[in-house]
Amino acid sequence: MSNIESRLAALGLILPPTFTPPPGVVLPFVNVRLIGNRAVIAGHGPQSPEGPLAKPLGKVGGELTLEQGYFAARLTALSMLGNLARALGDLDRISHWVRIFGMVNSAPGFVQQPAVINGFSDLILELWGPEAGAHARSAVGMAELPFGMPVEIEGEVRIAD
């Protein structure tokens, strides 16, 4: 078991299977694109351990609290890590987190998007530490996100040579 997998297990966290979109929805892209020593990661949303989108859905600051948004961002990290594990074969191949772009499905007037995306960043820093886990980041509010997801996050990592 890799170091990162051991840390996930110690935290009682499970990586979900690949997301299956709702019937009739076609997603014509890959979740992780490997290019040289980098992995570019498509937008991910929160998944339950079984694979479908995690509930609750909706706007943070409206139907969802800040805390629920934070937890959704943490689940989004697990979704992304699951696809990275499948693409790389071993999460220990990630030498550095480069950047994260976090989008929050925000109710009008909600301005705490950075606190929501901290759910993602805090888990990455906990797993990889302050050097390899440090990443550049944006956290922005959106009027809507696909399927009513509260957050969507994309990113990029460096892969060890």
Question: What confidence tens digit (pLDDT) does each residue in 66-123 have?
Answer: 999 999 999 999 999 999 999 999 999 999 999 999 999 999 999 999 999 999 999 9
How confident is the model at residue 105, as a pLDDT?
A: 98
The domain in which residue 126 lies consists of 3-20+30-159
Which pTM value belongs to this model? 0.96
pLDDT greater than 80 at residue 161: no
Could you tell me which residues come within 8 angstroms of residue 114 by beta carbon, excluding any fewer than 6 positions away? 139
Task: Supply the CATH number for residue 122's domain.
Answer: 3.30.1330.40
Which residues does 63 contact at the CB level (< 8 Å), separation at least 6?
56, 57, 107
Q: Kindly state whether residue 152 falls inside one of the protein's structural domains.
A: yes
Q: What percent of the chain has pLDDT over 70?
A: 99
Pairing of strands 38-44, 94-105: unpaired
| Overall residue count recorded for the chain in this entry | 161
Q: Is 118 part of a structural domain of the chain?
A: yes
Is residue 127 assigned to a domain? yes
Q: How many domains does the chain have?
A: 1
Q: Is residue 25, in this structure, part of any structural domain at all?
A: no
Is position 140 within any domain? yes
Task: For 152, list phi and psi in degrees, rounded to 5.
Answer: -140, 135
Give residue-wise pLDDT tens across range 11-64. 999 999 999 888 899 999 999 999 999 999 999 999 999 999 999 999 999 999
Q: What is the DSSP string of 67-111?
A: HHHHHHHHHHHHHHHHHHHHHHS-GGGEEEEEEEEEEEEB-TT--
Radius of gyration in angstroms for the set of CA atoms belonging to the chain, rounded to a whole number:
15
